[in-house]
Chains A and B, each alone.
Chain A
Amino acid sequence: MESGSDKGTGGFSAMDEYETLISTTDADLLKRSWRNEKAAPEILQFESSLVQRSREQIQLMEETVGEFMQNGEDPLTVSLYQMDIDRTVFLLRSYLRTRLQKIEKFMFHIQKTAGLWSRLSRQEQKFAKRSIEDMKKHLEQSVLSKLPDRYKSHLKQSVISEEDDMVTEPKLDSFVICRSRKFLGGLPVDDSGEENPLDMYAGDIYALRYKSIKPLIESGQLDLV
């Protein structure tokens, strides 16, 4: 971090670029998580520390704004701070709400898949448990209890089904649109047996099958857009 003394023209802008690459604010991270969550077919890992930090920042800012108002700070400044808070609150809410929608949609699938269940936050797990109970009860009371014995499961069509074929699962084969952060060479996007790897340059946007790029999204090398 010697940028203070380095005021040379060429070196400085390169340094600047490097800084923007490495210094990503929580606001940016939250925006990225929100986008990914909105565009991914399945539920992603809950960003617990990011959500925690964003919450604290919002709270801190709200206190600051409260102090400003008491001290008779310029109303324009106050309103700008308030707008900034509102934007962050919107992102955070929309992020959490998107996750709740996915949980409601895939609750039985998430419940029986350990890898997915552990992606939920504790509050989300609580929510999922209650939704599952309510949904089960509702299905039983309204329909299942009136059907013959072999059709009484809320997970299976009938007792002869080998799998839980009444459970909605996210379609991992669906296509998503993603943008790369940096050069990614030889992506195995084609699983039909033909070797057809794809090179993606920074900023390229592609429609790809979610399944084939899932690890890259989880590791943050690709963003969904």
Chain B
Amino acid sequence: MSGQSDPRGSTFSAAELEFLAEDETIEIVPNLRMERLSLICGDFGPFRPQIATQVPIWLAVALKKRGKCTIRPPDWMSVEKLTQVLEAERDSASSFEALPFHYVEISRLLFDDARDDIPDVYMVRSLIEDIKDVRFHKIGTGLEKLSSRTYAMKLNLSAMEVNVIRPFVTGGLETFYKLGNPELIQESERPEHRRPQPADRGPRRELRR
């Protein structure tokens, strides 16, 4: 039965998550003069040299690639803040620090295209890697608590973390739900006069009359 389900069916791909993260806004300092942009996703600008403005990340990266702006990394992406976060993550065995929903994707995007705008980029990068590792370790430990009593599981995690554990969590909860649900089991055991068989393919028995 488990072989039939499609565990990847509803998952987002990494590229799709990055796409979503690109809509988050970020501050840039343009070095060009450009009129206001009235885009489908909102109005941005006008752009004046040295005057900071908020734009979606995809727009920031597009300008950055052409050398038309510098990107101001978000507050949480400083060595100081990240060190605090990492310490707090290590101190607590079960709770997670508040980070932006798309922190993994945003930091990836900025590391790829705006390295020179991030102070202490190597340090920042390794701190984010460490935070990711610590969190994943905790997530793994947390998943051991999953049981047949679990009807709701709190996952206040980031988009990428949620996406990575999705197949396992939803699959596991589903299996527990099925096992813990009397009606679903009764249904496959109802025909008592038949010899016990692998109980997973109820309807197929009809063929064997």
User: Is B199 part of the binding interface, using a Cβ–Cβ cutoff of 8 Å?
Assistant: no
- Is there contact, CB below 8 Å, between B173 and A76? no
The 0/1 profile, CB within 8 Å of A marked 1, for residues 186-209 of chain B is 000000000000000001101101
Chain B residues contacting A176 (CB-CB under 8 Å) are: 10, 170
User: Is A19 part of the binding interface, using a Cβ–Cβ cutoff of 8 Å?
Assistant: no
| A interface residues, how many (CB within 8 angstroms) | 52
Chain A residues contacting B32 (CB-CB under 8 Å) are: 76
Question: Which chain A residue shows the least CB distance to B12?
Answer: A38
- Is there contact, CB below 8 Å, between B35 and A77? yes
User: Is B121 part of the binding interface, using a Cβ–Cβ cutoff of 8 Å?
Assistant: no
- Is there contact, CB below 8 Å, between A192 and B170? no
Give A209 to B130 CA distance when docked, in angstroms.
33
User: Is B174 part of the binding interface, using a Cβ–Cβ cutoff of 8 Å?
Assistant: yes
User: Is B59 part of the binding interface, using a Cβ–Cβ cutoff of 8 Å?
Assistant: yes
The 0/1 profile, CB within 8 Å of B marked 1, for residues 68-107 of chain A is 0000001011011101110110100010000000000000
Give A39 to B20 CA distance when docked, in angstroms.
15
Query: What is the distance, in angstroms, from A203's C-beta to the closest C-beta of chain B?
Result: 8
Beyond A160-B206, A192-B151, is A58–B40 a contact (Cβ under 8 Å)? yes
User: Is A155 part of the binding interface, using a Cβ–Cβ cutoff of 8 Å?
Assistant: no
Residue from A25, A61, A81, A157 within 8 A of B204 (CB atoms): A157
Beyond A31-B20, A39-B10, A174-B174, is A157–B206 a contact (Cβ under 8 Å)? yes
- Is there contact, CB below 8 Å, between A83 and B58? yes
Give A41 to B174 CA distance when docked, in angstroms.
13
Residue from A79, A204, A209 within 8 A of B177 (CB atoms): A209
Give A72 to B135 CA distance when docked, in angstroms.
51
Query: What is the distance, in angstroms, from B207's C-beta to the closest C-beta of chain A?
Result: 6
**Stretch of B74-82, B87-95, B105-113, B156-164 at the chain-chain interface:** B156-164
User: Is A46 part of the binding interface, using a Cβ–Cβ cutoff of 8 Å?
Assistant: no
3 closest cross-chain pairs (CB), A and B:
A84-B39, A175-B170, A27-B41
Mark A residues whose CB is within 8 Å of B.
25-27, 31, 35, 38-41, 54, 57-58, 61, 74, 76-77, 79-81, 83-85, 87-88, 90, 94, 157-158, 160-161, 165, 171, 173-177, 187, 189-190, 192, 196, 198, 203-209, 212, 225
Contacts A25-B42, A74-B34, A204-B156 known; list 5 others, CB within 8 Å: A77-B35, A85-B40, A158-B206, A171-B174, A225-B162
